[in-house]
Amino acid sequence: MNKKFLDLGYQPLANRYLKSYKKLSVKKNELYKLTVGFNTKTKLVSLIKRIPDKKMFDSSYPYKSSMSKTMVNSFKKLSIKIKKKFNPKRFLEIGSNDGALIKNFDKNKVVSVEPCSNLAKITKKKGYQTYDNYWNLSLAKKIKKKFNSVDVIYSANTLTHINDLDDVFKSINHVLAKNGVLIIEDPSFLECIKKTSYDQFYNEHIYVFSALAVKNIIKKYKLELFNIETLNTHGGSLRYYIKRTKNTIIRVNSSVNRQLSKEIKFGLNNFATYKQFSKQVLLSKEKLLNILKKIKDNNNKIIGYGATAKASTVLNYCNIDSDIIDYFVDTTPDKINRYMPGKNIKILPYNKKLMNKDTFIFLGAWNFKKEIFKKERAFIRKGGKFITHIPKPKII
Ligand code: JHZ
């Protein structure tokens, strides 16, 4: 049973950055109620109302993984690990985005799937076999016919974006070799709850996984977890290594039970924990609005850094508009000179000169705090201040 625990109000599509500002309406299907539920049986956290894939992932999808050094480095490190540990003859990535990971692999060994054709074009151009399709059973059958089975399947921040998880795992089962390995990587719900990062919820994130939920979901497909790695990326992620239950060559290591115990100890099995989280979310909103109001009362300027999908949730949930944040800066070409989803806040190209010590910087990309603070050393040294809402709203 899916029990509702969080209501983030009406939200626009998070990655839809409009060329000119217009007020969005619920009637015209431009704003959607964003509510989150907990399945008491599977322990899976998911959005209650879902938007069709085609509305969210199309040929104008702006997000590019290569825009952050942190992600580029993380993918590089992972590619070395995969080659060393599994040495795949055939490697499949589901949701290859702009190729930040596959660029580290031999072109002849990679098959990639990316439904946003603007992004698929980038990897095709570089010579990678890319299918600009949604991941589903008919595509899996096509891939199996052409390449036979696949030794390693990898998917980061993608499976949680697909409504039909049954089809996702059936399709994976169809192409995965007998002794093949599936690796998936997504934000961890435990980290989300610990940091009150409610902005991990937006219409694209249909699910936020916990190890407990992943373990329960994959059982039906005769798959099991054999290793879990904790990562700092995207606000705290988990990398799940999965094998067929029948595969006895690979051993299940202690990291799996360690993570499951941590989650149980924190209460991720109990609905009460989720209700408590929703109270924390409300407090976080009130605190952030207080901080922003004080800064504005002192006639200081606030700009946003990183026009993230997450920031879209924060702005719309807290009702923050251009009377509070003047503009955002971002390095992503397809976001520049557009407006934050649902708000009259323009996104300007990143330029150090826009940041002076009397300007407060709201960290939209709080998950890249370390990378950004390194880049903005001079601003910080001059007394420049950042505002963050994670783990608790404060000025730093
Ligand atoms: P970032 C997207 O979410 C959407 P977002 C998606 N649904 C998902 O799951 C995650 O990614 C993985 C900019 N930036 O990664 C670049 C700078 O301008 O937190 C990006 O626009 N300067 C697929 O949007 C944004 O910030 C910088 O120095 O929440 C970061 O977006 C850095 C480091 C980033 O994901």
Of 221, 146, 223, residue with least CA distance to 183? 223
Ligand 1 in reach of 204 Cβ (< 6 A) = yes
Residue 320 has pLDDT above 90, yes or no: yes
Q: What one-character-per-residue DSSP string does 253-296 give?
A: -HHHHHHHHHHHHHTTTSHHHHHHHHHHHHHHHHHHHHHHHHHH
Lowest mean pLDDT across 211-215, 296-300, 351-355: 351-355
For 396, the 3-state DSSP assignment is: coil
Name the residue with the closest Cα to ligand 1, atom 1: 308
Expressed in angstroms and rounded, the spacing between residue 265 Cα and the centre of ligand 1 is 31
Ligand 1 in reach of 74 Cβ (< 6 A) = no
**pLDDT score, position 353:** 86
Residue 354 has pLDDT above 90, yes or no: no
Ligand 1 in reach of 368 Cβ (< 6 A) = yes
**pLDDT score, position 255:** 98
Ligand 1 in reach of 197 Cβ (< 6 A) = no
How do residues 108-138 score in pLDDT, each as one tens digit?
999 999 999 999 999 999 999 999 999 999 9
Expressed in angstroms and rounded, the spacing between residue 313 Cα and the centre of ligand 1 is 13
Contacts of 341 (CB under 8 A, 6+ apart): 12, 13, 14, 15, 16, 17, 18, 312, 315, 316
Tokens of 366: 């709080």
Its pTM stands at 0.97
Expressed in angstroms and rounded, the spacing between residue 74 Cα and the centre of ligand 1 is 14
How do residues 360-386 score in pLDDT, each as one tens digit?
999 999 999 999 999 999 999 999 999
Name the residue with the closest Cα to ligand 1, atom 13: 306
How do residues 183-203 score in pLDDT, each as one tens digit?
999 999 999 999 999 999 999
CA dihedral 195, 51, 207, 183 (to 10 degrees): -120
The mean pLDDT value for 237-263 works out to 98
Expressed in angstroms and rounded, the spacing between residue 310 Cα and the centre of ligand 1 is 8
Tokens of 74: 């993380």
Expressed in angstroms and rounded, the spacing between residue 321 Cα and the centre of ligand 1 is 20
The mean pLDDT value for 345-374 works out to 94
Ligand 1 in reach of 202 Cβ (< 6 A) = no
List strands edge to edge, sheet with 385-388.
346-349, 327-330, 301-305, 359-363, 385-388, 394-395
Half-sphere exposure in the Cβ direction for 302 (13 Å, CA): 26
Expressed in angstroms and rounded, the spacing between residue 308 Cα and the centre of ligand 1 is 5
Name the residue with the closest Cα to ligand 1, atom 7: 204
The mean pLDDT value for 88-109 works out to 98
The mean pLDDT value for 273-292 works out to 98
Name the residue with the closest Cα to ligand 1, atom 18: 330
The mean pLDDT value for 345-371 works out to 93
Ligand 1 in reach of 306 Cβ (< 6 A) = yes
Residue 355 has pLDDT above 90, yes or no: no
Percent of the residues in the chain that have a pLDDT greater than 90, as a whole number: 98
Expressed in angstroms and rounded, the spacing between residue 306 Cα and the centre of ligand 1 is 7
Tokens of 170: 């059936």
Contacts of 299 (CB under 8 A, 6+ apart): none
